[in-house]
Structure 1
Amino acid sequence: MSSGGLSNRLSWYARRLSAMSTAEVVHRVGELAKKRSARLAQPGWARFDEGDGPLPLFPTAIDVASADADLLARWERVAEAAMARRHRFLGVDWPPAGNASLWHFDPVSQREWPKDRYCFDINYRHSDVYGDVKYVWEINRLQYLQPIAALAARTGRADLKSFVTAEIASWIADNPPFHGINWPSGIELSVRAVSVLVATRLLGADAFSPAETRAIRAFLAATGDWLSRYPSRFSSANNHLIAEAVGLYVIATACPELPAASRWRAYARRVLAEEVDRQFHADGIGAEQSPTYTAFTLELYVTAVRVAQAVGDPLPRAVLDKLATVGEALSWFMDETGAVPCIGDDDEGRVIVSDPEADRFYVASVLSATAAICDRPDIAPPVAPLHLRDLVFGRRLAPAKGEGVHTFAEGGYTVLRDQVRDRQLVLAMDHGPLGFLSIAAHGHADTLAVWLTYGGRALLADAGTYLYHAGGAWRDAFRGTPLHNTLSIGGESSSLVSGAFNWKAKAEASRLAVNDRLDTFSCEAAHDGYKARFGVEHVRALRRVSPDTFRIEDKLEGAAAPVDDVAISFLSGEGIEIRATDRTGTFDFVFEGTALLRLTGPEGWAGSVISGQETERLGWRSPCFGVKTPSDQLVFRGSAAPGTTMRTDLRLL
């Protein structure tokens, strides 16, 4: 490791320790001791050999007969690409691995991660040699095998069956427990186990030789053993903990003959029941403050619920009721195209995978499954392409949610839905917490930001995620305030970044006041993120001043003198161009030649359109993980005098 890499690693440990309670520090010390003692165990599958027995299967039926021609064609494309080794995940095309192991190959650095080293000795968080670990982990989730196995089950094609069984056998042979990059993260172990079990259910016992069946049994035994040893706790007890519990529950249900299966199953049920009110706020907003992370955690829960129902071991009714509340919250953000704002992080985590094209509708698809599982057609999405997920959980569609205003006080959003000029409007404002637990790992510094979708077009959009471990300054920028639709001071964020998944200062919102009448709507709140550094609180009000016009009023309270270098930003969504008009300070948001929104900034402030600016990292949007693309961003800059209200008008056209 270079001196810079060592410095980054030491800094990361210091920041993580600062976010830990005394109880967590004690837990981490004990966990470290367990990991060190486990290093002495001999690698290899022999110690997990359960002998001959039945092939473990995903515990619920998968109705591939319901796949339509379009879904089959999409599965065909996935199969053709995978069998030709044309892999593409997280925005990156995999080059040929050459003599390297596919399961340890980084497609960006084109280096091979260590595969013979004890897993917890591999520095995957701060590697300046191998690349972002997300890439190697993504292919090792084996989720691309799910649609190929489904196609094999539907068509009976022997070549597809052979490919899937060979991929599973290759992974097991090349990844002995607990060595290599594919063992340190519990969430990876869990989703990989689900993928293998989905494949075995789809292909059936006849597709696997006795030796392959025995190897899969050992694979699941080792996975369950590792998951039960190192659960995510304290500041790490987010969606990782849920994934681990779901993995254990599914493994224990599929392999009831394993010695620890009953213990794993009881533990997993307890975690899932206890955590549902921690992972989701009482109002249904996901604690990670991200719709896509909410959907991922929701899909994990739906998986456990479906498996539990299938084997006559239903989870408590309170769990289903909470999942329905979560689905209802998501439906408030969803427009008629099935899209939701990309608030917070999105690393494209999935449980059931069909194809990249359909997963553009991920939140809608999970909402459809949730509506089916919970028997709540009223929360179903308006659109979602048929997906393998539907063949596992069921499917519901319904007309888009109607007009109204809803405030999620605990989760921290107010959403307005209406019809303006025969187009659907979805307008949301953030006034909630930064993120979940002490590190708020997946939250963004977007307090008091607004998002606006009109006629199915994201006019005021979110920047997205881009990268995690390898993002560096770009990771900070995509999480930072200046790239969001709110006010910033001196180019600084309202919450201060401290590493890729941590913060050293968090803005807190307060003083929420909402008028929830559609015709006289208003939402006002404040945050203290700039108080320590600049001596001011940011107060923002979003008001409806006419049927087609909304006004944003920004104030900086507490200043004794003018605050310089203030910026108010608005980032456009996909396909939207921002054009200056003949009127100073007024700009149109245009899609395919048609202006949909006219925005007039604060009087006397200079407005400029920025796109793809490298130095300040403004004018960028990340449409998917690992990809960033220039996007028009309108920035007004000026000086805010004490007590002055800065008004921005948004008129829908």
Structure 2
Amino acid sequence: MTAGRLSSRLAWYARRLSAMSTAEVAHRVGELARKRSARLVQPGWARFDVGDGPLPVFPVAIDPALADADLLARWDRVAELAMARRHHFLGREWPPAGEASLWHFDPCSRREWPRDRYCFDINYRHSDVYGDVKYVWEINRLQYLQPIAALAARTGRAELGAFVSDEIAGWIADNPPFHGINWPSGIELALRAISVLVATRLVGDDAFSPAARRSIRAFLAATGTWLRRYPSRFSSANNHLIAEAVGLYVIATACPDLPAAKSWRAYARRVLAEEADRQFHADGIGAEQSPTYTAFTLELYLTAARVGQAAGDPLPQAVLQKLAAVGEALTWFMDENGAVPRIGDDDEGRVIVSDPDADRHYVASVVSAAAAVCDRPDIAPPAAPPHLRDLVFGRRLAPVKGVGVRTFPEGGYTVLRDRVHGRQLVLAMDHGPLGFLSIAAHGHADTLAVWLDYGGKALLADAGTYLYHAGGAWRDAFRGTPLHNTLSIGGESSSLVSGAFNWKTKAQARGLVVDERLDAFSCAAAHDGYRARFGVAHARLLRRLSADTFHIEDRLDGAAAPTETVAISFLSGEGVDIRATDRPGTFDFVADGLPLMRLAGPQGWAATLESGREAGRLGWRSPCFGVKVPSAQLVFRGSAPPGGTMRTEMRLL
């Protein structure tokens, strides 16, 4: 390890330790002891052999006969590519692995992660050799087997069932318990187990020999043992904890004769009941402060709920009511096409996987499932592509949610929905917490940012995620304030990053005042993120002047004006260009050749249009994990006297 990499690793541990309570430190010490003792266990599946028995399958019936011709065609394409080893995940094409193990091969570095090393000895967070661990973990979720198994069940094509069986057998043979890169992360174990069980449910007994059935039972026993031994707790108890609990619940239900199945099931059910009010705010907003992460946690919960219903062990009614509230909150951000702003992190985590096209509107698909599982047709989305998920949970669609204003005080958003000039408008402002738990791992420094969707076009969009562990300065930039639709000072962020999933400081929003009358709408709030460094608080007022005109009024309150340049940014979404007009400081947001919004910045401030600028990392958007593309970003720069108002006008056309 290089000196720089060692320094980075030590700094990470220092930051992580600073976010821990005394109780968490004690937990981590005990966890470390358990990890060290487990290193002495000899690798191999023999100690998890639970004997012959029935093929474990996902406990919910799945009927592929419900899939339409288009969905079948898309599954066929997934099968064709996978069987040719032409994998594509997280924006990357997998090159041929050659002599390397597919399950340990990184598509970017083209190196093989250690296969024989004890899993907790592999430094996946700080390695500059192998690449971002997200890629190797993604293919090892085995989720591509789900649509192939569904196609096999629908068509009866024996070669598809054989491929699924061989992939599962190959994974088991190449990944002995607790050695290699595919064992240290509980969420990966849980999602992989669910994928295997969905696949076995669909292809059935005939695809597996007695020896294969026995090895799958051992695989589930080892997976459950590891999940229960190392739960994500304290500052790590976010979606990872929920995934682990759902994985245990599904394994225990699918294979009840495993020795610890009864205790696993009871533990998992208790965790899911206790965590529902922690993972989701009282108003239905996800605590991770990201619609897609909210949908992912919601899908995990729905999986447990559906399994419980099928097994005669339903989750508590209070949990189902919370899941419905989460689905309802998500629909407030949704346009008539089922799209939502990509606020905060999005690493494309899924539970049930169909094909790439089917997850273009992932949030809408999960909300559709929530409407079915919770029997709440009123929360159904207006649109969602057909998906394998529909065959597991059910599917509900409903007319577009009407007009109005909704404030989510705990989650920290205010949303306005209306129709202007015959087009749908969805306008949102953030005034909430940075993220969940002490590390706020998946939040972005976007306090007081605004997002605007008009006529199905994201005129004011979020920058997205790009990369996690391997992102470096780009990871910081995509989480930072300058790439979001809000105000920054001196190029700095309102909350300061400290590593890929940590924060040095966190802006706190306060002073929320909302007028929820549609025709007289206003939303005002402030945050303290700049007070310690610049001696000022940032206050923002978003208000409606007329049916098609809104003002954003920014103010810096404090004893003195910052000496650094103040910037107010507006980032456009996919298919939206920003063009200067013949009036100084005024710009049109254009989609399909048609101006949809005219924006005029603070009087006297200099305006620049950025697109794909490397220096300063402005004018970028990440449409999916692992991909960044130039995107039009309008930046106004100037100086701000204390208490003076900086006004931006947005007029919809």
Specify the TM-score bucket, using the shorter chain as the normaliser.
over 0.9
The residue type paired with residue 327 of structure 1 is: G
The residue type paired with residue 413 of structure 1 is: Y
Distance of 2:2 and 2:337 partners within structure 1? 48
- Asked if the contact 2:452/2:458 (under 8 Å) is kept, the reply is yes
Distance of 1:168 and 1:157 partners within structure 2? 18
- Asked if the contact 2:114/2:122 (under 8 Å) is kept, the reply is yes
Equivalent in the alignment of 1:195? 195
Distance of 1:282 and 1:469 partners within structure 2? 32
Question: What are the ranges of 5 or more consecutive residues in structure 1 without an aligned counterpart?
Answer: none
**Corresponding residue SS for 1:406:** strand
TM-score normalized with structure 2 length = 1.00
CA deviation string 1:533-563 (max 9, x = no partner): 0000000000000100000000000132454
Equivalent in the alignment of 1:344? 344
Equivalent in the alignment of 2:309? 309
**Corresponding residue SS for 2:513:** strand
Equivalent in the alignment of 1:355? 355
Equivalent in the alignment of 2:502? 502
Aligned-residue offset at 1:592? 1.4
Equivalent in the alignment of 1:15? 15
**Structure 1 residues 37 and 597, CA gap change in structure 2 (3 angstroms):** same
Aligned-residue offset at 1:45? 0.1
Equivalent in the alignment of 1:473? 473
Aligned-residue offset at 1:206? 1.3
- Asked if the contact 1:334/1:340 (under 8 Å) is kept, the reply is yes
1:276 to 2:312 alignment:
no
The residue type paired with residue 573 of structure 2 is: G
CA deviation string 1:415-460 (max 9, x = no partner): 0000000000000000000000000000000000000000000000
Equivalent in the alignment of 1:609? 609
**Corresponding residue SS for 2:574:** coil
Distance of 2:493 and 2:190 partners within structure 1? 35
**Corresponding residue SS for 1:505:** coil
Distance of 1:638 and 1:580 partners within structure 2? 18
1:162 to 2:155 alignment:
no
1:623 to 2:623 alignment:
yes
- Asked if the contact 2:58/2:201 (under 8 Å) is kept, the reply is yes
**Corresponding residue SS for 1:435:** coil
Aligned-residue offset at 1:346? 0.2
CA deviation string 1:135-175 (max 9, x = no partner): 00000000000000000000000110111000000000000
CA deviation string 1:502-542 (max 9, x = no partner): 00100000000000000000000000000000000000000
1:127 to 2:127 alignment:
yes
- Asked if the contact 1:564/1:638 (under 8 Å) is kept, the reply is no
Equivalent in the alignment of 1:417? 417
Equivalent in the alignment of 1:42? 42
Equivalent in the alignment of 1:104? 104
**Corresponding residue SS for 1:344:** coil
RMSD of equivalent CA atoms: 0.5
Distance of 2:89 and 2:560 partners within structure 1? 52
CA deviation string 1:438-489 (max 9, x = no partner): 0000000000000000000000000000000000000000000000000000
Aligned length: 653
Aligned-residue offset at 1:4? 1.6
Aligned pairs for 1:25-36 (under 5 A) are: 25-36=25-36
Equivalent in the alignment of 2:576? 576
Aligned pairs for 1:11-410 (under 5 A) are: 11-410=11-410
Distance of 1:81 and 1:564 partners within structure 2? 53
CA deviation string 1:93-129 (max 9, x = no partner): 0000000000000000000000100000000001000
Equivalent in the alignment of 1:640? 640
Distance of 2:55 and 2:351 partners within structure 1? 21
Identical positions, percent: 83
Distance of 1:581 and 1:377 partners within structure 2? 46
- Asked if the contact 1:168/1:196 (under 8 Å) is kept, the reply is yes
**Corresponding residue SS for 1:452:** strand
The residue type paired with residue 109 of structure 1 is: S
Aligned-residue offset at 1:321? 0.2
Distance of 1:290 and 1:393 partners within structure 2? 23
- Asked if the contact 1:430/1:446 (under 8 Å) is kept, the reply is yes
**Corresponding residue SS for 2:193:** helix
Distance of 1:221 and 1:561 partners within structure 2? 62
**Corresponding residue SS for 1:426:** strand
Aligned-residue offset at 1:564? 3.4
Distance of 2:172 and 2:352 partners within structure 1? 21
Equivalent in the alignment of 1:482? 482
Aligned-residue offset at 1:177? 0.3
CA deviation string 1:319-378 (max 9, x = no partner): 000000000000000000100000000000000000011111100000000000001111
- Asked if the contact 1:563/1:641 (under 8 Å) is kept, the reply is no
- Asked if the contact 1:100/1:112 (under 8 Å) is kept, the reply is yes
Aligned-residue offset at 1:3? 1.6
CA deviation string 1:155-209 (max 9, x = no partner): 0001101110000000000000010000000000000000000000001111100
Aligned-residue offset at 1:2? 1.7
- Asked if the contact 2:536/2:560 (under 8 Å) is kept, the reply is no
Distance of 1:267 and 1:196 partners within structure 2? 22
The residue type paired with residue 323 of structure 1 is: L
Equivalent in the alignment of 1:586? 586
Distance of 1:203 and 1:77 partners within structure 2? 18
- Asked if the contact 1:611/1:633 (under 8 Å) is kept, the reply is yes
Distance of 1:563 and 1:59 partners within structure 2? 63
